[in-house]
Amino acid sequence: MTRSALLLLLGSNLVNTLQSAPINSHGETKISNLNLILKDVNAQNITEFTGFNVSLKLTTAEGYLIDQYNFRVDTTDNQGVYTYTSLRPETLSTTISIAWATNIPPPSFTTTTEFTGSTPTRGPTEEPTTTPKLPSDCDEISNRTSGVHIIYPDGKTPVSVYCEQKNSLTYTVIQSRGTVGNNISFDIPFANYSDWFGEAGIGNNFWIGLDNMNALSTNGKSYSLQIDLCCGSQLIAKQIYHNFKVDTKANQYTLTATVDIPGIGLDYASTGKDIGAPFSTYKDYKLPKGKPECDQFEYEDDDGNLSIGYGGWWFGSCGNNLNGFLYESIYGNCKVTRFATTKLLGINMRTSSGQGVGGYDVDLVSYDRVRMALFTFDSINVDRLDDTFCR
Residues that bind ligand NAG in the complex, under the rule CB under 6 A: 5, 7, 41, 44-45, 53, 72, 143, 145, 147-149, 179, 183, 188-189, 192, 303-305, 326, 328, 341
Element counts in the chain: helices (H) and strands (E): 2, 17
From the CB of 351, what's the least distance to ligand NAG, in Å?
Answer: 22
| Cα-based distances in Å from 122 to 109, 114, 116, 129, 269 | 17, 7, 9, 19, 57
- The span from the CA of 67 to the CA of 359, in Å, is 33
From the CB of 270, what's the least distance to ligand NAG, in Å?
Answer: 26
Shorter beta-carbon distance to ligand NAG: residue 144 or 249: 144
From the CB of 314, what's the least distance to ligand NAG, in Å?
Answer: 20
The length of the chain, given as a count of residues: 391
From the CB of 49, what's the least distance to ligand NAG, in Å?
Answer: 13
Q: Give DSSP secondary structure letters for 100-117.
A: EE-SSPPP-PPPP----S
From the CB of 72, what's the least distance to ligand NAG, in Å?
Answer: 4
Shorter beta-carbon distance to ligand NAG: residue 7 or 87: 7
- Cβ pair 265, 349 in contact under 8 A: yes
Q: Give DSSP secondary structure letters for 221-241.
A: ---EEEEEEEETTEEEEEEEE
From the CB of 327, what's the least distance to ligand NAG, in Å?
Answer: 7
Shorter beta-carbon distance to ligand NAG: residue 38 or 66: 38
User: At a CB cut-off of 8 Å and minimum separation 6, what does 323 contact?
Assistant: 175, 177, 186, 207, 310, 311, 312, 313, 347
Shorter beta-carbon distance to ligand NAG: residue 207 or 223: 207
Q: Judge residue 335's burial from the number of C-beta atoms within 10 Å of its C-beta, 0-12 exposed, 13-18 middle, 19 or more buried.
A: middle
- The span from the CA of 132 to the CA of 342, in Å, is 49
Q: Judge residue 238's burial from the number of C-beta atoms within 10 Å of its C-beta, 0-12 exposed, 13-18 middle, 19 or more buried.
A: buried
From the CB of 200, what's the least distance to ligand NAG, in Å?
Answer: 10
User: At a CB cut-off of 8 Å and minimum separation 6, what does 237 contact?
Assistant: 227, 228, 229, 265, 349, 351
From the CB of 185, what's the least distance to ligand NAG, in Å?
Answer: 7
From the CB of 255, what's the least distance to ligand NAG, in Å?
Answer: 22
Shorter beta-carbon distance to ligand NAG: residue 15 or 308: 308
User: How far from the centroid of its chain's Cα atoms is residue 142's Cα?
Assistant: 24
- Cβ pair 367, 229 in contact under 8 A: yes
Amino acid at 251: N
Shorter beta-carbon distance to ligand NAG: residue 197 or 377: 197
Shorter beta-carbon distance to ligand NAG: residue 46 or 269: 46
Shorter beta-carbon distance to ligand NAG: residue 36 or 188: 188
Q: Hey, how many other C-beta atoms are within 10 angstroms of the C-beta on 318? A: 27
Using CB positions, name the residue nearest to ligand NAG. Answer: 147
